[in-house]
């Protein structure tokens, strides 16, 4: 049985085309994916991402514990900070990529991929049991929050007229990238964070499920003068793809290390200890065997996940994500390629066609105004 977010009815009313995704019925598009993609690049789009998982970590050892379970360094987090990080297995493979929000010295909000909620929670419980005498509690709060992302160059302007967000209206302009604010509202706490998954400026708003539909309608109304439109999973995927943001199940999985994925900036080997540290340190010393690269395809060809990357007759890699990039208007893909072949002449096997590709820097697209 598929779950529905609190915004299900609002999606149907807006003409959302619903598809199963990570156990939820989610809107893949409303007016059309490319139109929604362009709205986010040029103006502003609203996304329902209530399917994402939220965990609350609490207790005196919250931060000692989190620094044990994630690869990035939580001790550097300011009091209103958010941290993007990976969480690894002992073998260095990625359990998930996630956001850690510092709510207090003894409390954190952890946001994980919807498809990984159960796996992540088990892994985090296991990691807690590893840590001797740790005073930490884990709570799966995924059903206690709805989550709305407002993304695009006009996102901050567009949300200011929202009555529900009035308590933080004057703080929105001063809110830096990867910082958050929260306030008590009738129905529960609302948390707004300067984060997102589109490569554009924007916020993600955590709201109690009972208030979610009201907030959504208010955001649409306040955003209307700015050209705000609801945007679905389709646009979310092409936006994150152009910005070369990793998607679990594509660029990341249990067998792939963050070092291979170009996420070495999330791996703080100067931390004395964390799950996966030994394997990652060894991998770094021996040299990374395959790397995530960006490729541009010749002609009007589109590479898809799983297509082979060839060097002559030898397969030297595999495509992780690919599409016709709506903003850049070319066929692009990300692929894992053997490290000794990344600068060679490569082709991608698009069904019966052997298509020449050229390596291009990641990200494919960088917003002028994200931060």
Decide: is 196 part of the binding site for another protein (CB under 8 A).
no
Decide: is 330 part of the binding site for another protein (CB under 8 A).
no
Q: How far apart are CA 342 and CA 260, in angstroms?
A: 13
Smaller CB separation from another protein, 17 or 160:
17
CA dihedral 288, 250, 308, 334 (to 10 degrees): -70
Measured from the CB of residue 238, what is the shortest distance to another protein in angstroms? 6
Question: How many of the other CB atoms lie within 10 Å of CB of 80?
Answer: 17
Q: How far apart are CA 265 and CA 256, in angstroms?
A: 16
Decide: is 306 part of the binding site for another protein (CB under 8 A).
no
Q: Which of 326, 333, 334, 364 binds another protein (CB under 8 A)?
A: 326
Q: Which string of DSSP letters, residue by residue, matches 76-87?
A: G--TTBEEEEEE
Measured from the CB of residue 261, what is the shortest distance to another protein in angstroms? 22
Q: Which of 33, 92, 199, 262 binds another protein (CB under 8 A)?
A: 33
Q: Which of 300, 313, 361, 368 binds another protein (CB under 8 A)?
A: 300
Q: Which of 351, 361, 368, 371 binds another protein (CB under 8 A)?
A: 351
Q: How far apart are CA 228 and CA 213, in angstroms?
A: 16
Decide: is 34 part of the binding site for another protein (CB under 8 A).
yes
Close Cβ partners of 1 (under 8 Å, ≥ 6 residues apart): none
Measured from the CB of residue 353, what is the shortest distance to another protein in angstroms? 9
Decide: is 17 part of the binding site for another protein (CB under 8 A).
yes
Close Cβ partners of 178 (under 8 Å, ≥ 6 residues apart): 81, 82, 83, 84, 193, 194, 195
What separation in angstroms does the CA of 195 have from each of 94, 115, 141, 151, 335?
Answer: 21, 20, 20, 9, 26
Q: Which of 2, 9, 15, 32 binds another protein (CB under 8 A)?
A: 32
Close Cβ partners of 214 (under 8 Å, ≥ 6 residues apart): 164
Print burial letters for 43-70: b (CB count within 10 Å at least 16), e (below 16): bbbbbbbbbbbbbbbbbebbbebbbbbb
Q: Determine the interface stretch with another protein among 50-58, 83-91, 130-138, 322-330 (rule: CB under 8 A).
A: 322-330
Classify residue 106 as left (phi > 0), alpha (psi -120 to 50) or beta.
alpha
Q: Determine the interface stretch with another protein among 172-180, 207-215, 276-284, 320-328 (rule: CB under 8 A).
A: 320-328
Close Cβ partners of 285 (under 8 Å, ≥ 6 residues apart): none
Q: How far apart are CA 74 and CA 85, in angstroms?
A: 9
**Between 258 and 297, how does the x/- string for binding to another protein read (CB under 8 A)?**
----------------------------------------
Decide: is 115 part of the binding site for another protein (CB under 8 A).
no
Smaller CB separation from another protein, 133 or 329:
329
Decide: is 349 part of the binding site for another protein (CB under 8 A).
no
Q: Which of 202, 234, 262, 294 binds another protein (CB under 8 A)?
A: 234
Decide: is 230 part of the binding site for another protein (CB under 8 A).
no
Decide: is 29 part of the binding site for another protein (CB under 8 A).
yes
Close Cβ partners of 204 (under 8 Å, ≥ 6 residues apart): 49, 147, 148, 149, 150, 192, 193, 195, 196
Decide: is 304 part of the binding site for another protein (CB under 8 A).
yes
Q: Determine the interface stretch with another protein among 31-39, 83-91, 103-111, 155-163 (rule: CB under 8 A).
A: 31-39
Decide: is 324 part of the binding site for another protein (CB under 8 A).
yes
The contact set with another protein (CB under 8 A) reads 17, 28-29, 32-34, 234, 237-238, 300, 302, 304, 323-324, 326, 351
């Amino acid at each position: 049985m598929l779950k529905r977010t609190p915004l299900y009815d609002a999606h149907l009313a807006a003409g959302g085309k619903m598809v199963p995704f990570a156990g939820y019925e989610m809107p893949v598009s409303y007016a059309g994916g490319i139109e929604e993609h362009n709205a986010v690049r040029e103006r502003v789009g609203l996304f329902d991402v209530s399917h994402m998982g939220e965990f609350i970590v609490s207790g005196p050892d919250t931060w000692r514990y989190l620094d044990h379970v994630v690869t990035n360094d939580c001790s550097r987090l300011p009091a209103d900070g958010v941290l993007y990080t990976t969480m690894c297995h002992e073998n260095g493979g990625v359990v998930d990529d996630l956001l850690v929000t510092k709510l207090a010295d003894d409390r954190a909000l952890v946001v994980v991929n919807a498809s990984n909620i159960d796996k992540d929670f088990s892994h985090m419980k296991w990691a807690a049991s590893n840590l001797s005498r740790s005073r930490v509690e884990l709570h799966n709060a995924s059903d206690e929050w709805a989550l709305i992302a407002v993304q695009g160059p006009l996102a901050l302007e567009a949300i200011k007229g929202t009555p529900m967000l009035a308590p933080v209206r004057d703080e929105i302009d001063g809110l830096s990238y990867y910082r958050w604010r929260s306030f008590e509202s009738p129905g529960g706490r609302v948390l707004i964070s300067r984060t997102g998954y589109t490569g554009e400026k924007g916020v993600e708003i955590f709201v109690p499920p009972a208030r979610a539909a009201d907030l959504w309608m208010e955001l649409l109304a306040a955003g209307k003068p700015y050209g705000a439109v609801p945007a679905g999973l389709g646009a979310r995927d092409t936006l994150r793809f152009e910005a070369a943001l990793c998607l679990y199940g594509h660029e990341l999985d249990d067998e792939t290390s963050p070092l291979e994925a170009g996420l070495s900036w999330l791996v703080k080997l100067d931390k004395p200890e964390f799950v996966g540290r030994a394997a990652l340190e060894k991998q770094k010393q021996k040299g990374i065997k395959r790397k995530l690269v960006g490729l541009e395809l010749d002609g009007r060809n589109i590479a898809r996940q799983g297509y082979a990357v060839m060097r002559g007759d030898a397969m030297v890699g595999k495509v992780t994500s690919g599409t016709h990039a709506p903003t850049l208007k070319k066929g692009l893909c990300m692929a894992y390629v053997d490290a000794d072949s990344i600068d060679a002449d490569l082709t991608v096997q698009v069904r019966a066609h052997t298509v020449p590709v050229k390596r291009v820097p990641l990200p494919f697209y960088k917003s002028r105004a994200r931060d």
